[in-house]
Chains A and B, each alone.
Chain A
């Protein structure tokens, strides 16, 4: 394969990855607008963090054609993977404890059953009850 053809193929792959990354961010925005409560919006909001940023990092790495900067960009994505569950977990827990959820849309509330069983024994559920 000649270098010109290889360049064209790599540019095409990078372009496809770039457009997919943009589509992921658009999907996250539409999910934020359309979904009814906090936890479904959180489900939509994690898409640009994981998939969209991965696609754009791959696109940039292909376009740069440099292993060093590709390593730096993948480091950024790896750090995002490490830190995104922290904020999602804390926001989800806070939303559940302060009842920022549409309980009529839930099919199963496994955590609620566990919290009920624990709160019968002693006052575990201190965020809801007042001591």
Chain B
């Protein structure tokens, strides 16, 4: 039967694409690469559901596809906005940025604590995270500073750093 072969070939291709996207999430040098890879994984999951619905002739998962189409872009937008505003802070001086990155890079913050509490334990390097960041979002700031070395020396006319 032709449709059986098409169904299994399609699922294999989708699985291969999802594995490639997972590899890019694992290896991706910056958080933006990871964001677009996670977006691709979401679309591939929707595609798997669509293929399953087409093969088995039901409509059980169609609302997942519709809703993921509606709100699937919000995560990318939020993280991209945060990369823009959070990426400017460590450019004050490279040494300060290195100190911050060394301080907060691998510190896990398991549960968010109350941001405005003056009695919150600062747990060492959490106080070094910058003026406009509190401790509850330092793990996310460390995420946005991950890995990628921006090539800032190629076009130096507009920036004075």
Inter-chain contacts of A16 with B (CB < 8 A) = 6
Query: What band does the interface of chain A fall in when counting residues whose beta carbon is under 8 Å from B?
Result: 35 or more
List A contacts of B110 (CB < 8 A).
none
Please tell me which one of the listed residues A48, A77, A102 contacts residue B44 in the complex, with CB atoms under 8 A apart: A48
Q: Point out the residues of chain B lying under 8 angstroms from A73, CB to CB.
A: 50, 62, 65
A-contacting 9-mer, from B33-41, B115-123, B129-137:
B33-41
* Set of chain B residues within 8 Å of A52, measured between Cβ atoms: 43, 47
Residues 20-34 of A contacting B (Cβ, < 8 Å): 21-23, 25-30, 32-33
| CB-CB contacts below 8 Å: B104-161 with A | 148, 150-152, 154-155, 157-161
> How many interface residues does B have (CB within 8 Å)?
66
**Which of B7, B32, B47 contacts A25, CB < 8 Å?**
B47
Closest residue on chain A to residue B11 by CB atoms: A22
Contact A21 B69 (CB under 8 A): no
B155–A38 CB distance below 8 A: no
A83-B69 contact, Cβ under 8 Å, with A41-B36, A63-B54, A130-B88: yes
Q: Pick the contact of B54: A59, A90, A125 (CB < 8 A).
A: A59
- Least Cβ–Cβ distance between B78 and chain A, in angstroms: 9
**A83 touching B73 by the CB < 8 A rule?**
yes
**Segment 1-29 of B: residues with Cβ below 8 Å from A:** 2-3, 5-7, 9-14, 16-21, 23-24
| Closest Cβ neighbor of A42 among chain B residues | B36
B46 at the A interface (CB under 8 A): yes
